[in-house]
Amino acid sequence: MKESKIKISIIMPFSVEGKLLLSKISEIIEVLNALAYEYEFIVVTKEEQNLNLGKSVSERLIDLDKIKIVNYDPKIGKVFTLLRGFQFASGNLILFIDPALDLKQADIRKLIEGLDEQAADIIVASKFHPKSNVVYPAVRHLLSKLYYWVLRKFFDLNIRDVNTDCMLFKRNALKNIVERIITKEYALNLEIFVVAKHLNYKVNDIPIKLGARQKWQILRLFQLYYVLIDTLAIYYRLRILKYYDRLKKKPSRFPFVSIIIPVSRMNDYLKESIKKCLQLNYPKYEIIVLPDEKFSFDEELRDEKINIVPTGQITPPEKRDIGIKPAKGEIIAFLDDDTLPTKDWIMNAVGHFEDERVAAVGGPAVTPASDNINQIASGAVYSSWLVAGINTYRYIPYKVREVEDYPTCNLFARKEVLEQIKGFNTKFWPGEDTILCLKIKLLNKKIVYDPDVKVYHHRRELFKAHLNQIKTYALHRGYFVKRYPETSFKISYFIPSLFDIGLIAGGFLSYIFPSVRGFYFGTIAFYLSLLLLNSIPAMKIKLMYLVFFGILSTHIIYGIYFIKGLFAKKLAEE
Protein backbone atom coordinates (compact mmCIF):
# COMPACT_ATOMS: atom_id res chain seq x y z
CA MET A 1 0.00 0.00 0.00
CA LYS A 2 2.93 2.33 0.62
CA GLU A 3 3.80 2.30 -3.06
CA SER A 4 0.73 4.42 -3.76
CA LYS A 5 0.05 7.81 -2.29
CA ILE A 6 -1.72 7.43 1.05
CA LYS A 7 -3.92 10.04 2.67
CA ILE A 8 -5.67 9.32 5.94
CA SER A 9 -8.81 11.15 7.08
CA ILE A 10 -9.08 11.01 10.87
CA ILE A 11 -12.64 11.52 12.14
CA MET A 12 -12.95 12.48 15.81
CA PRO A 13 -16.04 13.34 17.88
CA PHE A 14 -15.61 16.40 20.06
CA SER A 15 -16.54 14.56 23.24
CA VAL A 16 -13.73 15.82 25.46
CA GLU A 17 -12.18 19.10 26.52
CA GLY A 18 -10.18 21.00 23.94
CA LYS A 19 -6.77 20.33 25.48
CA LEU A 20 -7.26 16.56 25.44
CA LEU A 21 -8.51 16.74 21.85
CA LEU A 22 -5.40 18.67 20.76
CA SER A 23 -3.17 16.26 22.68
CA LYS A 24 -4.68 13.28 20.83
CA ILE A 25 -4.36 15.07 17.49
CA SER A 26 -0.68 15.76 18.23
CA GLU A 27 -0.05 12.08 19.05
CA ILE A 28 -1.62 10.93 15.79
CA ILE A 29 0.26 13.54 13.77
CA GLU A 30 3.59 12.22 15.14
CA VAL A 31 2.70 8.71 13.98
CA LEU A 32 1.57 9.87 10.54
CA ASN A 33 4.64 12.04 10.03
CA ALA A 34 6.84 9.07 10.92
CA LEU A 35 5.00 6.96 8.34
CA ALA A 36 5.18 9.82 5.79
CA TYR A 37 1.42 9.75 5.17
CA GLU A 38 -0.68 12.73 4.18
CA TYR A 39 -3.56 13.40 6.55
CA GLU A 40 -6.53 15.54 7.50
CA PHE A 41 -8.52 15.75 10.73
CA ILE A 42 -12.30 16.08 10.79
CA VAL A 43 -13.57 17.12 14.21
CA VAL A 44 -17.33 16.52 14.45
CA THR A 45 -19.07 18.59 17.09
CA LYS A 46 -22.37 20.04 18.18
CA GLU A 47 -22.69 23.64 17.07
CA GLU A 48 -22.83 24.95 20.62
CA GLN A 49 -19.64 23.05 21.49
CA ASN A 50 -17.91 24.55 18.51
CA LEU A 51 -18.82 28.02 19.72
CA ASN A 52 -17.70 27.30 23.28
CA LEU A 53 -14.31 25.74 22.63
CA GLY A 54 -12.60 28.70 24.20
CA LYS A 55 -10.73 31.37 22.29
CA SER A 56 -7.23 29.89 22.54
CA VAL A 57 -8.30 26.36 21.61
CA SER A 58 -10.58 27.56 18.81
CA GLU A 59 -7.82 29.69 17.28
CA ARG A 60 -5.32 26.82 17.49
CA LEU A 61 -7.73 24.49 15.69
CA ILE A 62 -8.64 26.97 12.98
CA ASP A 63 -4.98 27.78 12.36
CA LEU A 64 -4.28 24.16 11.51
CA ASP A 65 -5.24 24.00 7.84
CA LYS A 66 -5.46 20.23 7.95
CA ILE A 67 -8.29 20.28 10.48
CA LYS A 68 -11.94 20.66 9.51
CA ILE A 69 -14.62 21.34 12.10
CA VAL A 70 -18.07 20.12 11.07
CA ASN A 71 -21.31 20.09 13.04
CA TYR A 72 -23.80 17.33 13.69
CA ASP A 73 -27.39 17.56 14.84
CA PRO A 74 -27.47 16.87 18.62
CA LYS A 75 -30.87 15.19 18.14
CA ILE A 76 -29.10 12.48 16.14
CA GLY A 77 -26.37 11.90 18.70
CA LYS A 78 -22.61 11.54 18.91
CA VAL A 79 -22.74 7.96 17.69
CA PHE A 80 -23.29 9.16 14.10
CA THR A 81 -20.11 11.23 13.97
CA LEU A 82 -18.40 8.61 11.80
CA LEU A 83 -21.11 8.88 9.13
CA ARG A 84 -21.21 12.67 9.40
CA GLY A 85 -17.44 13.02 9.21
CA PHE A 86 -17.21 10.67 6.23
CA GLN A 87 -19.24 13.17 4.19
CA PHE A 88 -16.26 15.56 4.41
CA ALA A 89 -13.43 13.02 4.21
CA SER A 90 -11.13 12.98 1.17
CA GLY A 91 -8.60 10.34 2.27
CA ASN A 92 -8.29 6.82 0.83
CA LEU A 93 -8.06 5.55 4.43
CA ILE A 94 -10.59 6.60 7.07
CA LEU A 95 -9.66 6.40 10.75
CA PHE A 96 -12.37 6.87 13.36
CA ILE A 97 -11.11 7.42 16.91
CA ASP A 98 -12.68 8.88 20.03
CA PRO A 99 -10.08 11.17 21.64
CA ALA A 100 -11.35 10.03 25.05
CA LEU A 101 -9.93 6.58 24.28
CA ASP A 102 -6.57 6.34 26.06
CA LEU A 103 -4.68 4.76 23.17
CA LYS A 104 -0.92 5.12 22.89
CA GLN A 105 1.09 6.03 19.82
CA ALA A 106 2.20 2.42 19.47
CA ASP A 107 -1.44 1.27 19.28
CA ILE A 108 -2.24 3.83 16.60
CA ARG A 109 0.80 2.74 14.58
CA LYS A 110 -0.26 -0.94 14.85
CA LEU A 111 -3.74 0.00 13.61
CA ILE A 112 -2.50 1.84 10.54
CA GLU A 113 0.14 -0.73 9.64
CA GLY A 114 -2.36 -3.55 10.20
CA LEU A 115 -4.12 -2.95 6.89
CA ASP A 116 -0.93 -3.87 5.02
CA GLU A 117 0.24 -6.66 7.27
CA GLN A 118 -3.12 -8.43 7.54
CA ALA A 119 -4.44 -7.62 4.04
CA ALA A 120 -7.63 -6.38 5.68
CA ASP A 121 -10.28 -3.89 4.59
CA ILE A 122 -11.10 -2.85 8.15
CA ILE A 123 -8.94 -2.94 11.28
CA VAL A 124 -10.36 -2.36 14.77
CA ALA A 125 -8.67 -1.81 18.11
CA SER A 126 -10.18 -4.57 20.23
CA LYS A 127 -10.50 -4.61 24.00
CA PHE A 128 -11.04 -8.39 23.87
CA HIS A 129 -8.09 -9.41 21.71
CA PRO A 130 -6.16 -12.19 23.55
CA LYS A 131 -3.09 -9.94 23.72
CA SER A 132 -4.97 -6.82 24.86
CA ASN A 133 -4.26 -5.45 28.32
CA VAL A 134 -7.39 -3.64 29.45
CA VAL A 135 -8.66 -2.75 32.91
CA TYR A 136 -12.36 -3.33 32.22
CA PRO A 137 -15.28 -3.31 34.69
CA ALA A 138 -16.38 -6.88 35.49
CA VAL A 139 -20.09 -6.27 34.81
CA ARG A 140 -19.39 -4.72 31.40
CA HIS A 141 -17.05 -7.59 30.57
CA LEU A 142 -19.74 -10.16 31.41
CA LEU A 143 -22.44 -8.34 29.41
CA SER A 144 -20.09 -7.93 26.47
CA LYS A 145 -19.24 -11.64 26.43
CA LEU A 146 -22.95 -12.52 26.48
CA TYR A 147 -23.73 -10.01 23.71
CA TYR A 148 -20.93 -11.25 21.47
CA TRP A 149 -22.10 -14.84 21.96
CA VAL A 150 -25.52 -13.71 20.67
CA LEU A 151 -23.88 -11.96 17.70
CA ARG A 152 -22.03 -15.11 16.72
CA LYS A 153 -25.28 -17.08 16.79
CA PHE A 154 -27.40 -14.46 15.00
CA PHE A 155 -24.90 -13.04 12.50
CA ASP A 156 -21.98 -15.49 12.45
CA LEU A 157 -19.68 -12.60 13.40
CA ASN A 158 -16.19 -13.38 14.66
CA ILE A 159 -15.41 -9.81 15.73
CA ARG A 160 -14.51 -9.73 19.41
CA ASP A 161 -15.21 -6.04 20.03
CA VAL A 162 -18.18 -4.56 18.18
CA ASN A 163 -18.40 -1.46 20.40
CA THR A 164 -14.90 -0.27 19.66
CA ASP A 165 -14.15 3.46 19.52
CA CYS A 166 -11.25 3.05 17.12
CA MET A 167 -11.65 1.72 13.56
CA LEU A 168 -9.67 2.10 10.34
CA PHE A 169 -11.35 1.60 6.95
CA LYS A 170 -10.28 1.50 3.34
CA ARG A 171 -12.34 4.22 1.71
CA ASN A 172 -14.19 2.08 -0.84
CA ALA A 173 -15.15 -0.43 1.84
CA LEU A 174 -16.63 2.25 4.09
CA LYS A 175 -18.40 3.91 1.14
CA ASN A 176 -20.15 0.67 0.15
CA ILE A 177 -21.05 -0.04 3.77
CA VAL A 178 -22.43 3.44 4.47
CA GLU A 179 -24.69 3.26 1.40
CA ARG A 180 -26.54 0.37 3.05
CA ILE A 181 -26.67 1.65 6.62
CA ILE A 182 -29.95 2.53 8.31
CA THR A 183 -28.50 4.43 11.22
CA LYS A 184 -29.58 3.25 14.64
CA GLU A 185 -28.20 4.99 17.70
CA TYR A 186 -27.45 1.94 19.81
CA ALA A 187 -26.20 -0.55 17.22
CA LEU A 188 -24.48 1.48 14.52
CA ASN A 189 -21.16 -0.33 14.88
CA LEU A 190 -22.93 -3.68 14.73
CA GLU A 191 -24.65 -2.77 11.49
CA ILE A 192 -21.32 -1.63 10.02
CA PHE A 193 -19.73 -5.01 10.77
CA VAL A 194 -22.78 -7.01 9.66
CA VAL A 195 -22.81 -5.21 6.31
CA ALA A 196 -19.03 -5.58 6.00
CA LYS A 197 -19.31 -9.35 6.43
CA HIS A 198 -22.28 -9.46 4.04
CA LEU A 199 -20.17 -7.69 1.39
CA ASN A 200 -17.23 -10.04 2.05
CA TYR A 201 -14.91 -7.38 3.45
CA LYS A 202 -12.13 -8.69 5.65
CA VAL A 203 -12.21 -7.34 9.22
CA ASN A 204 -9.30 -7.93 11.61
CA ASP A 205 -8.43 -6.62 15.04
CA ILE A 206 -5.30 -5.60 16.92
CA PRO A 207 -4.58 -5.73 20.66
CA ILE A 208 -4.58 -2.54 22.71
CA LYS A 209 -3.47 -1.47 26.15
CA LEU A 210 -5.87 0.60 28.27
CA GLY A 211 -5.02 1.34 31.86
CA ALA A 212 -7.02 2.45 34.88
CA ARG A 213 -7.14 6.04 33.55
CA GLN A 214 -9.63 5.01 30.88
CA LYS A 215 -13.14 6.22 31.74
CA TRP A 216 -16.08 3.98 30.79
CA GLN A 217 -19.61 5.20 30.20
CA ILE A 218 -22.15 4.00 32.76
CA LEU A 219 -24.49 1.40 31.29
CA ARG A 220 -28.18 2.04 31.91
CA LEU A 221 -31.07 -0.40 31.65
CA PHE A 222 -32.87 1.55 28.91
CA GLN A 223 -29.67 1.51 26.81
CA LEU A 224 -29.50 -2.29 27.01
CA TYR A 225 -33.14 -2.44 25.91
CA TYR A 226 -32.49 -0.27 22.84
CA VAL A 227 -29.36 -2.25 21.96
CA LEU A 228 -31.57 -5.35 21.86
CA ILE A 229 -34.25 -3.62 19.74
CA ASP A 230 -31.71 -2.34 17.22
CA THR A 231 -29.96 -5.71 17.09
CA LEU A 232 -33.23 -7.46 16.27
CA ALA A 233 -33.96 -4.80 13.61
CA ILE A 234 -30.61 -5.50 11.92
CA TYR A 235 -31.32 -9.24 12.00
CA TYR A 236 -34.73 -8.58 10.44
CA ARG A 237 -33.20 -6.53 7.63
CA LEU A 238 -30.45 -9.08 7.02
CA ARG A 239 -32.32 -12.39 7.24
CA ILE A 240 -35.98 -11.56 6.53
CA LEU A 241 -36.07 -8.49 4.27
CA LYS A 242 -32.73 -9.26 2.56
CA TYR A 243 -32.31 -5.49 2.61
CA TYR A 244 -28.52 -5.56 2.35
CA ASP A 245 -28.68 -7.66 -0.84
CA ARG A 246 -29.95 -4.82 -2.94
CA LEU A 247 -27.77 -3.83 -5.86
CA LYS A 248 -27.72 -0.42 -7.47
CA LYS A 249 -28.65 -0.57 -11.13
CA LYS A 250 -26.04 1.26 -13.15
CA PRO A 251 -27.83 2.91 -16.08
CA SER A 252 -26.37 2.15 -19.50
CA ARG A 253 -27.50 5.58 -20.68
CA PHE A 254 -28.60 8.86 -19.13
CA PRO A 255 -32.04 9.99 -20.37
CA PHE A 256 -32.95 13.63 -19.79
CA VAL A 257 -35.04 14.05 -16.63
CA SER A 258 -37.50 16.87 -15.83
CA ILE A 259 -38.14 17.50 -12.13
CA ILE A 260 -41.60 19.01 -11.54
CA ILE A 261 -42.34 20.80 -8.25
CA PRO A 262 -45.82 22.32 -7.67
CA VAL A 263 -45.92 25.05 -5.01
CA SER A 264 -48.18 27.90 -3.91
CA ARG A 265 -45.49 30.47 -3.15
CA MET A 266 -41.84 30.87 -2.23
CA ASN A 267 -40.97 29.24 1.10
CA ASP A 268 -37.92 28.03 3.02
CA TYR A 269 -38.65 24.36 2.32
CA LEU A 270 -38.72 25.05 -1.42
CA LYS A 271 -35.35 26.83 -1.23
CA GLU A 272 -33.91 23.83 0.62
CA SER A 273 -35.39 21.44 -1.94
CA ILE A 274 -34.01 23.41 -4.91
CA LYS A 275 -30.58 23.51 -3.29
CA LYS A 276 -30.60 19.70 -3.01
CA CYS A 277 -31.83 19.36 -6.59
CA LEU A 278 -28.91 21.45 -7.85
CA GLN A 279 -26.50 19.06 -6.07
CA LEU A 280 -27.82 15.91 -7.78
CA ASN A 281 -25.27 13.48 -9.17
CA TYR A 282 -26.76 13.28 -12.67
CA PRO A 283 -25.62 14.84 -15.96
CA LYS A 284 -28.88 15.84 -17.70
CA TYR A 285 -31.90 17.31 -15.93
CA GLU A 286 -34.04 20.40 -15.52
CA ILE A 287 -36.18 21.74 -12.67
CA ILE A 288 -39.67 23.08 -13.41
CA VAL A 289 -41.19 25.03 -10.49
CA LEU A 290 -44.92 25.80 -10.70
CA PRO A 291 -45.97 28.60 -8.28
CA ASP A 292 -49.24 30.53 -8.20
CA GLU A 293 -47.42 33.73 -9.15
CA LYS A 294 -44.03 34.59 -10.66
CA PHE A 295 -41.06 34.91 -8.30
CA SER A 296 -37.29 34.62 -8.50
CA PHE A 297 -34.75 32.80 -6.36
CA ASP A 298 -31.86 34.38 -4.51
CA GLU A 299 -28.56 34.65 -6.36
CA GLU A 300 -27.16 31.42 -4.88
CA LEU A 301 -30.10 29.38 -6.23
CA ARG A 302 -30.29 30.88 -9.70
CA ASP A 303 -29.37 28.31 -12.31
CA GLU A 304 -30.04 27.70 -15.99
CA LYS A 305 -31.58 24.34 -15.07
CA ILE A 306 -34.50 26.09 -13.32
CA ASN A 307 -37.65 27.09 -15.20
CA ILE A 308 -40.33 28.94 -13.19
CA VAL A 309 -43.83 28.61 -14.70
CA PRO A 310 -46.60 30.58 -12.88
CA THR A 311 -49.97 28.80 -12.98
CA GLY A 312 -52.43 30.80 -10.89
CA GLN A 313 -54.26 29.31 -7.91
CA ILE A 314 -55.00 25.73 -8.95
CA THR A 315 -54.48 22.32 -7.36
CA PRO A 316 -51.10 20.49 -7.37
CA PRO A 317 -52.24 17.83 -9.90
CA GLU A 318 -53.36 20.59 -12.28
CA LYS A 319 -49.98 22.27 -11.82
CA ARG A 320 -48.19 19.01 -12.59
CA ASP A 321 -50.18 18.60 -15.81
CA ILE A 322 -49.10 22.11 -16.84
CA GLY A 323 -45.48 21.24 -16.01
CA ILE A 324 -45.51 18.06 -18.10
CA LYS A 325 -46.27 19.94 -21.34
CA PRO A 326 -43.05 22.04 -21.63
CA ALA A 327 -40.89 19.37 -19.96
CA LYS A 328 -37.93 18.32 -22.13
CA GLY A 329 -37.31 15.12 -20.21
CA GLU A 330 -37.91 11.60 -21.37
CA ILE A 331 -38.52 10.89 -17.68
CA ILE A 332 -40.64 13.12 -15.43
CA ALA A 333 -39.73 13.24 -11.72
CA PHE A 334 -42.39 14.53 -9.33
CA LEU A 335 -41.39 16.13 -6.02
CA ASP A 336 -43.26 18.11 -3.39
CA ASP A 337 -41.80 21.44 -2.33
CA ASP A 338 -41.02 20.03 1.16
CA THR A 339 -39.03 17.01 -0.09
CA LEU A 340 -35.24 16.78 -0.31
CA PRO A 341 -33.78 14.35 -2.87
CA THR A 342 -30.62 12.45 -1.99
CA LYS A 343 -27.58 12.96 -4.19
CA ASP A 344 -28.05 9.77 -6.26
CA TRP A 345 -31.84 10.06 -6.40
CA ILE A 346 -32.11 10.27 -10.20
CA MET A 347 -29.16 7.96 -10.87
CA ASN A 348 -30.76 5.19 -8.80
CA ALA A 349 -34.13 5.57 -10.53
CA VAL A 350 -33.34 5.78 -14.25
CA GLY A 351 -31.79 2.31 -14.48
CA HIS A 352 -35.20 0.74 -13.89
CA PHE A 353 -36.56 2.38 -17.06
CA GLU A 354 -34.31 0.21 -19.20
CA ASP A 355 -37.05 -2.37 -18.67
CA GLU A 356 -39.73 -1.27 -21.15
CA ARG A 357 -42.45 -2.69 -18.90
CA VAL A 358 -41.60 -0.18 -16.16
CA ALA A 359 -43.64 3.01 -16.43
CA ALA A 360 -42.95 4.52 -12.99
CA VAL A 361 -40.48 4.31 -10.12
CA GLY A 362 -40.88 5.50 -6.55
CA GLY A 363 -38.90 5.41 -3.32
CA PRO A 364 -39.16 6.07 0.42
CA ALA A 365 -39.86 9.50 1.87
CA VAL A 366 -37.91 9.51 5.13
CA THR A 367 -38.47 12.03 7.91
CA PRO A 368 -35.30 14.20 8.18
CA ALA A 369 -33.56 14.37 11.55
CA SER A 370 -33.56 18.18 11.27
CA ASP A 371 -37.35 18.27 11.75
CA ASN A 372 -38.60 19.37 15.15
CA ILE A 373 -39.90 16.85 17.67
CA ASN A 374 -43.56 17.26 16.63
CA GLN A 375 -42.64 16.62 12.99
CA ILE A 376 -40.47 13.64 13.90
CA ALA A 377 -43.39 12.26 15.91
CA SER A 378 -45.65 12.69 12.88
CA GLY A 379 -43.15 10.77 10.75
CA ALA A 380 -42.99 8.01 13.39
CA VAL A 381 -46.79 7.77 13.34
CA TYR A 382 -46.90 7.45 9.55
CA SER A 383 -44.13 4.81 9.51
CA SER A 384 -45.66 2.75 12.34
CA TRP A 385 -47.09 -0.59 11.17
CA LEU A 386 -50.21 0.24 13.21
CA VAL A 387 -50.85 3.15 10.83
CA ALA A 388 -49.04 2.29 7.58
CA GLY A 389 -49.73 -1.46 7.74
CA ILE A 390 -48.03 -3.13 4.78
CA ASN A 391 -47.08 0.30 3.38
CA THR A 392 -44.29 1.07 5.88
CA TYR A 393 -41.85 0.85 2.97
CA ARG A 394 -43.12 4.28 1.89
CA TYR A 395 -41.43 5.83 4.94
CA ILE A 396 -38.61 3.38 5.77
CA PRO A 397 -36.31 1.84 3.09
CA TYR A 398 -37.19 -1.79 2.33
CA LYS A 399 -36.35 -4.16 -0.51
CA VAL A 400 -37.13 -3.54 -4.20
CA ARG A 401 -40.69 -4.52 -5.14
CA GLU A 402 -43.49 -3.88 -7.59
CA VAL A 403 -46.34 -1.72 -6.20
CA GLU A 404 -49.84 -0.76 -7.33
CA ASP A 405 -50.18 2.70 -5.80
CA TYR A 406 -47.50 5.24 -4.89
CA PRO A 407 -47.41 8.90 -3.70
CA THR A 408 -46.30 11.66 -6.06
CA CYS A 409 -44.05 13.29 -3.44
CA ASN A 410 -41.36 10.96 -4.86
CA LEU A 411 -42.33 9.43 -8.17
CA PHE A 412 -40.67 9.09 -11.61
CA ALA A 413 -42.72 8.31 -14.74
CA ARG A 414 -42.14 8.05 -18.49
CA LYS A 415 -43.37 11.18 -20.25
CA GLU A 416 -44.81 9.15 -23.14
CA VAL A 417 -46.91 7.14 -20.65
CA LEU A 418 -48.11 10.33 -18.92
CA GLU A 419 -49.14 11.75 -22.29
CA GLN A 420 -50.88 8.49 -23.19
CA ILE A 421 -53.02 8.57 -20.02
CA LYS A 422 -53.48 12.38 -20.31
CA GLY A 423 -51.57 13.09 -17.12
CA PHE A 424 -53.40 13.46 -13.84
CA ASN A 425 -56.42 15.10 -15.49
CA THR A 426 -58.10 15.60 -12.11
CA LYS A 427 -58.79 18.17 -9.42
CA PHE A 428 -58.63 15.51 -6.70
CA TRP A 429 -56.11 16.45 -4.05
CA PRO A 430 -54.97 14.43 -2.24
CA GLY A 431 -55.67 11.20 -4.08
CA GLU A 432 -54.39 12.28 -7.48
CA ASP A 433 -51.52 9.80 -7.19
CA THR A 434 -53.98 6.91 -6.74
CA ILE A 435 -55.74 7.90 -9.97
CA LEU A 436 -52.45 8.27 -11.87
CA CYS A 437 -51.14 4.89 -10.71
CA LEU A 438 -54.43 3.19 -11.56
CA LYS A 439 -54.24 4.55 -15.11
CA ILE A 440 -50.68 3.23 -15.40
CA LYS A 441 -51.66 -0.23 -14.13
CA LEU A 442 -54.56 -0.37 -16.61
CA LEU A 443 -51.91 -0.15 -19.36
CA ASN A 444 -50.36 -3.34 -17.91
CA LYS A 445 -47.26 -1.37 -16.99
CA LYS A 446 -45.14 -1.80 -13.86
CA ILE A 447 -44.58 0.62 -10.96
CA VAL A 448 -41.36 -0.22 -9.12
CA TYR A 449 -40.33 0.73 -5.59
CA ASP A 450 -36.59 1.08 -4.94
CA PRO A 451 -35.25 1.96 -1.44
CA ASP A 452 -32.33 3.84 -2.98
CA VAL A 453 -34.64 6.27 -4.80
CA LYS A 454 -34.86 8.10 -1.50
CA VAL A 455 -35.97 11.58 -0.49
CA TYR A 456 -36.34 13.25 2.88
CA HIS A 457 -39.82 14.61 3.52
CA HIS A 458 -40.59 17.30 6.09
CA ARG A 459 -43.71 16.29 8.05
CA ARG A 460 -46.70 18.26 9.31
CA GLU A 461 -46.53 18.86 13.05
CA LEU A 462 -48.56 16.88 15.54
CA PHE A 463 -51.31 17.34 16.35
CA LYS A 464 -53.39 19.90 14.43
CA ALA A 465 -51.55 20.02 11.09
CA HIS A 466 -50.96 16.26 11.09
CA LEU A 467 -54.60 15.43 11.81
CA ASN A 468 -55.86 17.92 9.21
CA GLN A 469 -53.79 16.01 6.65
CA ILE A 470 -55.18 12.70 7.94
CA LYS A 471 -58.72 14.05 7.51
CA THR A 472 -58.19 14.79 3.82
CA TYR A 473 -56.43 11.46 3.19
CA ALA A 474 -59.24 9.51 4.88
CA LEU A 475 -62.04 11.48 3.22
CA HIS A 476 -60.67 10.83 -0.26
CA ARG A 477 -59.77 7.21 0.44
CA GLY A 478 -63.31 6.53 1.66
CA TYR A 479 -64.73 8.13 -1.47
CA PHE A 480 -62.26 6.24 -3.67
CA VAL A 481 -63.54 2.92 -2.31
CA LYS A 482 -66.63 3.59 -4.43
CA ARG A 483 -65.00 5.57 -7.21
CA TYR A 484 -61.80 3.54 -7.73
CA PRO A 485 -62.29 0.17 -6.01
CA GLU A 486 -59.45 -1.40 -8.02
CA THR A 487 -56.87 0.22 -5.71
CA SER A 488 -58.91 1.42 -2.73
CA PHE A 489 -61.31 -1.40 -1.82
CA LYS A 490 -58.98 -3.03 0.70
CA ILE A 491 -59.82 -4.23 4.21
CA SER A 492 -56.82 -2.35 5.67
CA TYR A 493 -58.47 0.99 4.82
CA PHE A 494 -61.61 -0.02 6.74
CA ILE A 495 -59.87 -1.02 9.99
CA PRO A 496 -59.75 2.45 11.66
CA SER A 497 -63.49 2.90 11.01
CA LEU A 498 -64.22 -0.56 12.43
CA PHE A 499 -62.11 0.44 15.43
CA ASP A 500 -64.20 3.61 15.97
CA ILE A 501 -67.44 1.67 15.63
CA GLY A 502 -66.20 -1.00 18.03
CA LEU A 503 -65.08 1.62 20.53
CA ILE A 504 -68.53 3.24 20.63
CA ALA A 505 -70.68 0.13 20.23
CA GLY A 506 -68.56 -1.87 22.67
CA GLY A 507 -68.85 0.83 25.30
CA PHE A 508 -72.62 0.94 24.87
CA LEU A 509 -72.99 -2.85 24.98
CA SER A 510 -70.72 -3.22 28.01
CA TYR A 511 -72.89 -0.72 29.85
CA ILE A 512 -76.04 -2.72 29.11
CA PHE A 513 -74.51 -6.22 29.36
CA PRO A 514 -71.92 -6.55 32.17
CA SER A 515 -70.72 -9.86 30.71
CA VAL A 516 -69.29 -7.95 27.73
CA ARG A 517 -67.18 -5.60 29.85
CA GLY A 518 -64.27 -7.96 30.39
CA PHE A 519 -63.83 -8.60 26.68
CA TYR A 520 -64.32 -4.91 25.82
CA PHE A 521 -61.81 -3.51 28.31
CA GLY A 522 -59.41 -6.40 27.66
CA THR A 523 -59.42 -5.55 23.95
CA ILE A 524 -58.78 -1.88 24.73
CA ALA A 525 -55.93 -2.84 27.06
CA PHE A 526 -54.40 -5.01 24.32
CA TYR A 527 -54.69 -2.16 21.81
CA LEU A 528 -53.09 0.33 24.20
CA SER A 529 -50.28 -2.17 24.81
CA LEU A 530 -49.62 -2.27 21.06
CA LEU A 531 -49.53 1.53 21.02
CA LEU A 532 -47.03 1.52 23.86
CA LEU A 533 -44.79 -1.03 22.11
CA ASN A 534 -44.84 1.14 18.98
CA SER A 535 -43.99 4.24 21.02
CA ILE A 536 -41.11 2.87 23.12
CA PRO A 537 -38.54 2.86 20.25
CA ALA A 538 -38.94 6.67 20.14
CA MET A 539 -36.63 6.63 23.21
CA LYS A 540 -37.34 10.16 24.48
CA ILE A 541 -40.25 10.49 26.92
CA LYS A 542 -41.87 13.43 25.12
CA LEU A 543 -41.51 11.73 21.75
CA MET A 544 -42.98 8.51 23.17
CA TYR A 545 -45.97 10.49 24.44
CA LEU A 546 -46.45 12.20 21.07
CA VAL A 547 -46.20 8.94 19.09
CA PHE A 548 -48.58 7.12 21.47
CA PHE A 549 -51.33 9.72 21.26
CA GLY A 550 -50.47 10.49 17.63
CA ILE A 551 -51.27 6.91 16.56
CA LEU A 552 -54.42 6.86 18.71
CA SER A 553 -55.75 10.16 17.34
CA THR A 554 -54.78 9.16 13.77
CA HIS A 555 -56.85 5.97 14.04
CA ILE A 556 -59.87 7.82 15.43
CA ILE A 557 -59.80 10.73 12.96
CA TYR A 558 -59.05 8.52 9.95
CA GLY A 559 -61.90 6.18 10.89
CA ILE A 560 -64.41 9.04 11.18
CA TYR A 561 -63.48 10.77 7.91
CA PHE A 562 -63.16 7.50 5.98
CA ILE A 563 -66.83 6.82 6.78
CA LYS A 564 -67.69 10.39 5.80
CA GLY A 565 -65.95 9.91 2.43
CA LEU A 566 -67.58 6.50 1.98
CA PHE A 567 -71.05 8.04 2.21
CA ALA A 568 -70.21 11.28 0.38
CA LYS A 569 -72.29 11.74 -2.77
CA LYS A 570 -69.66 13.81 -4.54
CA LEU A 571 -66.17 15.27 -4.04
CA ALA A 572 -64.54 17.84 -6.31
CA GLU A 573 -63.02 15.89 -9.22
CA GLU A 574 -62.54 16.04 -12.99
Using an 8 Å Cβ cutoff, are 261 and 289 in contact? yes
pLDDT at 564 (0 to 100)? 94
Residue pLDDT, tens place only, 160-175: 788 787 899 999 999 9
pLDDT at 265: 92
State the Cα–Cα distance between residues 446 and 358, nearest whole angstrom.
5
Segment 425-438 mean pLDDT: 87
Q: Sort residue 251 into left (φ over 0), alpha (ψ -120 to 50) or beta.
A: beta
304 C-beta neighbours (distance < 10 Å), count:
6
pLDDT at position 521 = 93
What percent of the chain has pLDDT above 90? Answer: 44
Q: What is the dihedral of CA 366, 369, 370, 373, to 10 degrees?
A: 100
Q: pLDDT band at residue 394, thresholds of 50, 70 and 90?
A: very high
Provide CATH 3.90.550.10 ranges for the chain.
7-245, 257-461
How far apart, in whole angstroms, are the C-alpha atoms of residue 455 and residue 409? Answer: 9
* Mean pLDDT within 355-380: 93
Is 7-245 a domain of CATH 3.30.70.20?
Answer: no
Pairing type for strands 285-290 and 365-366 reads unpaired
Query: What pLDDT shows up at residue 62?
Result: 44
Q: How far is CA 254 from CA 123, 331, 355, 413, 450, in A?
A: 38, 10, 14, 15, 18
Distance CA 404, CA 98 (A): 47
Q: What is the DSSP string of 180-191?
A: T----TTSHHHH
Question: Considering only CA atoms, which of 341, 327, 330, 359 is closest in space to residue 281?
Answer: 341
The pLDDT of residue 37 is 82
Helix H or strand E segment including 206: strand 203-207
How far, in Å, CA of 449 to CA of 393, rounded?
A: 9
Report, at the CATH architecture level, how domain 257-461 is classified. Answer: Alpha-Beta Complex (3.90)
Reported as a single tens digit per residue, the pLDDT across 246-285 is 665 567 889 999 999 999 999 999 999 999 999 998 999 9
User: If we measure between CA atoms, which residue out of 198, 81, 174 comes closest to residue 123?
Assistant: 174
Once rounded to an integer, what is the mean pLDDT over residues 218-246?
76
Q: Name the helix (H) or strand (E) containing 449.
A: strand 446-449
On the question of pLDDT at 386 being above 70, the answer is yes
Q: Which residues contact 36 (CB under 8 A, 6 or more apart)?
A: none
Of 54, 57, 82, nearest to 70 by C-alpha is 82
Checking if the pLDDT of 522 tops 90, the result is yes
- Helix 138-155 / helix 188-198 crossing angle, nearest 10 deg: 30
Mean pLDDT of 526-538: 85
Q: Which residues share a beta bridge with 45?
A: 71
pTM above 0.75, yes or no: no
Rounded-to-integer distance, Cα 237 and Cα 230, Å: 11
Sign of CA dihedral 138, 141, 146, 147: positive
Which pLDDT belongs to residue 249? 58
* pLDDT (0 to 100) of residue 61: 47
CB 381 within 8 A of CB 395: no
